[in-house]
Amino acid sequence: MSDLLNIAGKHYQSRLLVGTGKYADFAQTRAAIDASGAEIITVAIRRTNIGQNAGEPSLLDFLPPEEFTYLPNTAGCYSADDAVRTLRLARELLDGHKLVKLEVLGDPNTLYPNMIETLDAAKTLVKDGFDVMVYCSDDPIIAKQLEDIGCCAVMPLASLIGSGMGILNPWNLQIIIENAKVPVLVDAGVGTASDAAIAMELGCQGVLMNTAIAAARDPVLMAAAMKKAVEAGREAYLAGRMPKKLYSASPSSPTTGLIT
Amino acid sequence: MQLIINGKSRDFESANLSVADLVSALKLEGKRLAVEWNGEIVPRSRFFETQLSDGDKLEIVGAVGGG
């Protein structure tokens, strides 16, 4: 069965997108990403270290851009201008690469997104030819507006970035998914495999996570668990779950032929 | 000349420096990076022809781990 994730016209086998931050070292980053099966990986754009350790390996040595689809992000940006500037540099850095993850934060304590700045940045980036996957609050109206602007995917939070609190408002996510004509991915808040499975069962097209894998006691094993959870959740969604009934008067075993 | 690179002031003996010369002087040759020069991105193809002047502000960035 071919059931591919379609983002901005490109198809992917894996519906699990992973970040590359917070790992012990690059070797662990690589091992976890291999175990996750992810094809799309996020990276941050930062000032290069100058004058120190010129020869030391970089993330790109372990995760060659030819092997993965890079998704440069705007983590740490608190204004539309900073986010746009960062992604224009990312595009140059990655040889004209158009697919990006936009996030504009509003508060350093909660890392909650600033949706006014995000909408502003999204407009500029879409006009500038970027394919914008956008991190957002789980507000169905905002999600629709981001889609109308031309974002290629909307990525509402399940709960706060790095919190591992899981899916706190499945009802909002469901409204967003039902109304969306572009892929909806849960980004942020997944803590363990069941969270990822629930996101997929709700009808998400994919899940993006970083801390849930990197901060697990065994990141590589958790990456493998997340791969299975996303696949299981997707298959359960496609299979169509049975309706919930408070009492079932329909036993699974035959009611005839009982030994009396 | 003096240049502001990634927010820090640095002195260079040469008064005639291109972006390519700077990248080489900083031992960043062959690294994947992007350069912003006084607020404008300098495409890699223009590193050799872009001449720097005293007081120019540069940002040199790369990709790092992030979520």
Domain positions in chain B: 2-62
Q: Between these two residues, A252 and A206, which has the higher pLDDT value?
A: A206
Q: Which residues of A touch B63 (CB under 8 A)?
A: 43-45, 58-60, 70, 72, 90, 93-94
Element (H, E) at A69: strand A69-72
pLDDT score of A54 more than 80? no
CB-nearest partner of A46 from B7, B27, B64 = B64
Average pLDDT over residues A174-187: 97
Least confident of A8-17, A44-53, A147-156, B57-66: A44-53
DSSP assignment of A184-215:
BEEES---SHHHHHHHHHTT-SEEEESHHHHT
On whether any CB of chain B is under 8 Å from the CB of A42, the answer is yes
Measure the CA–CA gap between A41 and A99, rounded to whole angstroms: 11
Q: Do A75 and B43 touch (CB under 8 A)?
A: no
Using DSSP, state whether A244 is helix, strand or coil: coil
pLDDT score of A52 more than 80? no
- Tell me what ipTM this predicted complex has: 0.93
pLDDT digits (tens, 9 = 90+) for B18-36: 999 999 999 888 888 999 9
pLDDT of residue A247: 84
pLDDT digits (tens, 9 = 90+) for A188-199: 999 999 999 999
pLDDT digits (tens, 9 = 90+) for B3-21: 999 999 999 988 889 999 9
Q: Which residues of A touch B36 (CB under 8 A)?
A: 85, 89
Q: Which residues of B touch A158 (CB under 8 A)?
A: none
pLDDT of residue A55: 67
- A60 pLDDT band, cuts 50/70/90, is confident
Q: Which residues of B touch A101 (CB under 8 A)?
A: none
Percent of chain A with pLDDT over 90: 86
How many angstroms separate the Cα of A2 from the Cα of each of A5, A13, A185? 10, 8, 19
pTM: 0.92
Q: Do A73 and B33 touch (CB under 8 A)?
A: no
Active site residue A101: yes
Select from B33, B58, B59, B64 the residue whose CB has the most chain A CBs within 10 Å, as the one to mutate to test that interface: B64
Interface of B with A (CB under 8 A): 5-8, 26-28, 31-36, 41, 43-44, 59-67
Average pLDDT over residues B33-60: 95
Q: Do B66 and A21 touch (CB under 8 A)?
A: yes
pLDDT score of A177 more than 90? yes
**Which residue has tokens 């909660």?**
A110
On whether any CB of chain B is under 8 Å from the CB of A66, the answer is no
Measure the CA–CA gap between A219 and A212, rounded to whole angstroms: 8
**Phi, psi (degrees; rounded to nearest 5) at A95:** 60, 45
Active-site entry in A10, A22, A101, A228: A101
Domain range B2-62, its CATH number among 3.30.1490.390, 3.10.20.30, 3.20.20.70, 3.30.565.10: 3.10.20.30
